[in-house]
Structures are given as C-alpha cells and as structure tokens.
Amino acid sequence: MIAILSALASERDAVLEGVHVDRVVRKAAFRVFYGRHQGVELMVAATGIGKVSASARAQAAIGEFGATGVIFSGVAGGIGEGVRAGDLVIATETVQHDFDCTVFGYQPGEVPRPGSLAVASDGTYVEAARRAAARCAWEALPDGRRPAVHQGRILTGDQFVCSEETVARLAGTFGGLSVDMESAAVAQVASWNEVPFLVIRSFSDTAGGDAPAAFRGLSELAARNSARLALATFEELL
Ligand code: SAH
C-alpha cells in the first residue's frame, strides 16, 4: 500500500481532501489515516517537522503500518534559477545539505558508509509524476499564474532557510531546486527499506529574507497543489 506522507498536519489535510478515510490508527503521537482514493487503498500521515521526526515516522509507516511505497508531499523554499513561489518540483534526487564530514575528505552532504551523497527517487514514480503533472488541475496562484513544474535535485536540512546568503551558498555547493526539512531523511529511510520513494514539493517561499511572511501567505495553497500532484501521481501508479 502506498503512503502519502507530509510533514505538517495542514499538508496532510490537503491530501485528505482527496481521500475517503476508512479508519485512523494511532500509535503514540503518530496518526495514520487509512482510506481510498478512486477506490484504491492508501495511507496518509503527517511525520512532523525535521529529519528526526520524518525519519522515525517514515520507518514506522513502512515497518509497522505496511507502506510499500512512499510519496512525500509538502511545501518548500524554491532556490533554483527560474524557480518562483507557487511552482512545484518533482525530486529526482535528495541531498542532506547540513551533513558535513568534509574534514575526513567526504563531499559536502555526503553520508559516510555507504558513502552516498544523493538518494535517487524511484524512476517509475518520477515518470508517473511527470505524466500526472501534464494533466493536473492546479489551483491558480494569487497572481493568476499557472504553477510551473520543475524536476531535479532538492536539498534537506534541519533549518528553515530564510537568507539570500544561505541560498547562494547552498546553490553554489549543491545546485538544487528547493530546500526543505524532511525529504532527504525520508528518502534515506525508504532506500534502506528498499521501498520506492518520491518527493513532490510546492514552493511556499523562495528561502530569502521574506520567507517567513511568504510561507504564512502561500503555504496552504502550495500544500493543496502539492497534494493534487501527489494524488494524481498515485492514480498514474495504479
Ligand atoms: N510555521 C510552521 C513551521 C514551518 S517549518 C509551524 O509553526 O508549525 C517549514 C516547513 O515547510 C518544513 O516542514 C519544511 O520542510 C518546509 N519549508 C518551507 N519553506 C522552507 C524553507 N525556506 N526552508 C526550509 N524548509 C522549508
């Protein structure tokens, strides 16, 4: 059964708008919604913010709650060239930008042993998301624009990025199209469990000095567009 996971309850609730919920299972503070989308079973849950919470809940979703595939849906700060608030990204790979063992000769972001820098999304899921993006009915952005959908590397770390200097440093070191606080952690957990995995994010902000205000203004709409693409991707995988 595929799990659609998000960090925040508001992002999860955007996914649940398209799901008929059959039952909710709770373990400690983790609530898993089992339901159906277009008659097919799936599970939906919020992992909490940051790499530790997201990893723990992703492991629980896979190990205890029966997820055999993971689509992560949520908001992020867009950082790449030509990327605008309200756009979306289909992540082809994820990097932990705050992982630093460079003093031992590793690359910035590289996790020693097994020595991986980027964790790739599942190819079949990426293809499904591409097809879904081509037919997805978006909610229009505040300026009336249709969101653009990008594809590429995304970055994760335990910090809300809200400075132009940090964006320039991260873009210079890693490239990448967005920053968030969970994706690469969940990717690593899914990969260790040999479970197919994909991240979809919609940009609530562009990670500069105005990011907190932009996040407050746009994150709910962005979460709904991300959820639409996640559910459309789920349909493509049926
Ligand atoms: N306002 C929230 C906290 C949001 S933290 C609260 O009070 O509960 C930001 C969330 O959105 C994280 O889950 C992260 O993955 C994503 N995000 C959006 N913009 C981001 C940015 N600029 N930097 C890092 N994460 C960002």
- What is the per-residue pLDDT across 6-37, written as a single tens digit (0 to 9) for each? 999 999 999 999 999 999 999 999 999 999 99
Q: What is the pLDDT of residue 115?
A: 76
Which secondary structure element, helix H or strand E, spans residue 46, and what is its range? strand 40-46
User: What is the rounded CA–CA span in Å between residue 36 and residue 62?
Assistant: 18
Identified catalytic residue from 110, 122, 180, 205: 205
Q: What is the pLDDT of residue 80?
A: 87
| Cβ 77 under 6 angstroms from ligand 1 | yes
User: What is the rounded CA–CA span in Å between residue 70 and residue 67?
Assistant: 7
Burial zone of 39 (CB within 10 Å; 0-12 exposed, 13-18 middle, 19+ buried): exposed
| Cβ 207 under 6 angstroms from ligand 1 | yes
Does the predicted TM-score (pTM) go above 0.75?
yes
CATH code matching the domain that covers 2-237, chosen among 3.10.20.310, 1.10.1040.10, 3.40.50.1580, 3.30.70.250 = 3.40.50.1580
Identified catalytic residue from 11, 87, 93, 236: 11
Q: What is the pLDDT of residue 173?
A: 98
Ligand 1 atom nearest to CA at 182? 15
Q: Closest residue (by CA) to atom 8 of ligand 1?
A: 8
Which residues, given as ranges, of the chain have pLDDT below 70?
none
Q: How many residues does the chain have?
A: 238
